[in-house]
Amino acid sequence: MRKEIQARDVQNFINGKYVSTAETFDVLYPITGEVTAKVHKAGQAEVDAAVAAARAALKGPWGTMPLAERSKMVKAIADGVMKRFDDFLEVEVLDTGKPYSVASHVDIPRGGSNFAAFADILKEHATEAFSMDTPDGLGALNYGVRRPRGVIGVISPWNLPLLLMTWKVGPALACGNTVVVKPSEVTPSSAALLGEVMNEVGVPEGVYNVVNGFGDTGAMITSHPDVDGITFTGETVTGSIILKAVAPTLKASSMEMGGKNPGIVFEDADLDLAIKELGRSCFLNTGQVCLGTERVYVHESIFDEVRDRLKDYAENELKYGFPDDEGVNFGPVVSDEHRDKVLSYYKLAEEEGATVVTGGGAPKFGDERDGGSWVEPTIWTGLAQDSRTATEEIFGPAVALIPFSDEDEVIKLANDTKYGLAATFFTQDVSRVHRVAPQLEAGIIWVNCWFLRDLRTAFGGMKHSGIGREGGVHGLEFYTEISNVCVKM
C-alpha cells in the first residue's frame, strides 16, 4: 500500500545527546526514490567529541560497573529494542525498502537478541586456569583476567543495518567497552533510534555514540589515536582500505568481508528441501546477504530439474509490492547506485555467454515504484567457472547454475575462489556430509539448511572474506584483552 512519507531528521548521537550539524545529506526510499531522511553529517569535531565521550565513559560508571549489573543493563537494551519494535521496523523499512515480512522476522528480532545473547554468554564464560610444576615442588597457578579492549569503532553495512550493527555493539558493551558507530550513509536511521533506547534504559552517557557520514567519516574513526579497535562488516575492497588505515597505530581489527558463496546439490538431495533453501539463500533480502548463495553446483543427473524448479521459485514464490502489502517478500535493492552495479553484472553475464533462465533486468510497474531501485531475481546457466560473473561478488538476487559430475570435482569448484565466507550443500548421505564439510574452505558451512544461526558459534570468513571470528566466546578475542596472572605457591 502506498504510504505518505515525511522526511525525518536523523542526527548524530554523542554523549547521550542528539547533535545536529550544518551539513546534511539525503536518504532515499528504495521503493520510489523519495527523500525519507535528512541526515546530519559528522565532521572531525563530532568524531573527536564522540571518541572523547567514549573514552570518558570507560573511566566512569560503565568502566567500574560490576559484570552482573552490566549484563542486566545489556539485557535491558534488548528489551528496549523489542518494546520499540514497530518504530525500528518503520525506519528500517524506509531506509532499505525491504518488505515488512522480512524485517519483522529477521532484522528487528535479531537486533534485540544480539544484546540478550551476549549478556548471557559473558556471564557464563569461565576464565582459563592452569596449575604448573615448579623446581621447588610447590607449584604455581596461572589464570586469565579479561578486561575491555577500550573504545571500539563500529563500521556497519547497509544490507541488515540494525542486525549487523548490534551484532557488534552487543558483545562490545557486554564486555565493558564503549563504542563509536558509523552506520552506512544510506541506512543510518536504526543506529540513531537506538540512542533513544540507550537513554530510556539508563545506559551511561558516552557508552554508545553514533556519527553519520561517508567514507571520510569512517576514516576519521579508523585513524583516531584514541580508538582501540575497529570492527567492520562490508565489502573486501573497503576492508582492505581500513586495514591499511589502522596499520600505523596497530589497532586490533575484526573484519567480516565479502563472499561468492557456493551451494552444492548432490544427486541424492531432497529436492523439495533444496529448492526451498536455495530459493532463500539466493533471493532473501533481494540477494543482499553476505552469506547468500551466488553460484550453485548441481549434479548433472538432476541439473535440468533443479534449474526448472528454481526458475519456478523465482517467478512464482517471490512477490513484488509495497513493504506492507500482504504476501510481499521481495523488495528493491538498497539504492540506485547498487541497482546500477547489479544491472551491470546482468549485462556482463550475457556478454560472457550466459543463458538467462529468468530475470536479467529491472521490472516495470507503471507507477511510482518505477522511480525506485528495483532489479529482477535472475538465474543463469552456461557461465564458465572462471567468468567474472561467476567469480566476482554481485550482492544481488542473481545466481549461476553450474553442472558437476563427481564429488572431488565439485569440492575443487566450490573452493576455486578468493573468498571463503559460507557454503551450503544438500545430500542425504551422512558419510558424505562428514567427508565433504571439512574440505570446504568456508567459515560457516550449512548442510540441508541455510541461515540457521546459533549465536554461541564462531562466525567469520577465510581468505578474502575476513579476519577473526565473532559469536559466542570467540568474539572475546577481539572485544577483550587477556592478561595471564601467575601466582607462585
Interatomic CA distance for residues 75 and 121, integer angstroms: 11
Query: Which residue did the predictor score with more confidence, 2 or 93?
Result: 93
Instruction: Give the model confidence (pLDDT) of 170-229 as tens digits.
Output: 999 999 999 999 999 999 999 999 999 999 999 999 999 999 999 999 999 999 999 999
The confidence score (pLDDT) of residue 127 equals 86
Strand partners, 13: 18, 210
The whole-angstrom separation of Cα 332 and Cα 320 is 9
Provide the percentage of residues in the chain whose pLDDT is more than 90.
Answer: 96
Q: Give the tens place of pLDDT for each residue, 368-406.
A: 999 999 999 999 999 999 999 999 999 999 999 999 999
Residue labelled with grid coordinates 548421505: 429
The per-residue pLDDT for range 31-51, each reduced to its tens digit, is: 999 999 999 999 999 999 999
Tell me the one-letter amino acid at 326. E
State how far the Cα of 450 lies from the Cα of 384, in Å rounded to an integer: 25
Q: Is 366 exposed, middle or buried (0-12, 13-18, 19+ CB in 10 A)?
A: exposed
Per residue in 290-341, pLDDT (tens digit) is 999 999 999 999 999 999 999 999 999 999 999 999 999 999 999 999 999 9
pLDDT tens-digit series, residues 432-471: 999 999 999 999 999 999 999 999 999 999 999 999 999 9
Could you give the domains of the chain?
8-257+465-488 (3.40.605.10), 261-454 (3.40.309.10)
For the four alpha carbons of 322, 328, 332 and 334, in that order, the dihedral sign comes to: positive
Least confident of 59-63, 110-114, 174-178, 198-202: 59-63
Please say if the pLDDT value at position 354 is more than 60: yes
pLDDT at 6: 86
Q: Just list the catalytic residues.
A: 256, 290
- d(Cα 5, Cα 101) in Å, to the nearest integer? 20
pLDDT band at 3, cuts 50/70/90? low
> Is pLDDT at 126 greater than 80 in this prediction?
no
CB under 8 Å to 138, separation ≥6 — which residues?
Answer: 488, 489
Nearest to 117 by CA among 78, 60, 68: 78
Least confident residue range of 119-128, 161-170, 272-281 = 119-128
Q: Give dist(CA 254, CA 232) in Å, integer.
A: 6
**pLDDT number for residue 275:** 98
Q: Measured between alpha carbons, how far is 384 from 402 in angstroms, rounded to an integer?
A: 8
Q: What average pLDDT does the structure give for the chain? A: 96
CA distance 470 to 231: 10
Q: What is the pLDDT of residues 69-89, one digit of tens each?
A: 999 999 999 999 999 999 999
Q: What is the 3-state secondary structure (H, E, C) of the chain?
A: CCCCCCCEEECEEECCEEECCCCEEEEECCCCCCEEEEEECCCHHHHHHHHHHHHHHHHCHHHHCCHHHHHHHHHHHHHHHHHCHHHHHHHHHHHHCCCHHHHHHHHHHHHHHHHHHHHHHHHHCCCCEEEECCCCCCCEEEEEEEEECCEEEEECCCCCHHHHHHHHHHHHHHCCCEEEEECCCCCCHHHHHHHHHHHHHCCCCCCEEECCCCHHHHHHHHCCCCCCEEEEECCHHHHHHHHHHHHHHCCEEEEECCCCEEEEECCCCCHHHHHHHHHHHHHHHHHCCCCCEEEEEEEHHHHHHHHHHHHHHHHHCCCCCCCCCCCCCCCCCCCHHHHHHHHHHHHHHHHCCCEEEECCCCCCCCCHHHHCCCCCCEEEECCCCCCHHHHCCCCCCEEEEEEECCHHHHHHHHHCCCEECEEEEECCCHHHHHHHHHHCCCCEEEECCCCCCCCCCCECCEECCEECCECHHHHHHHHEEEEEEEEEC
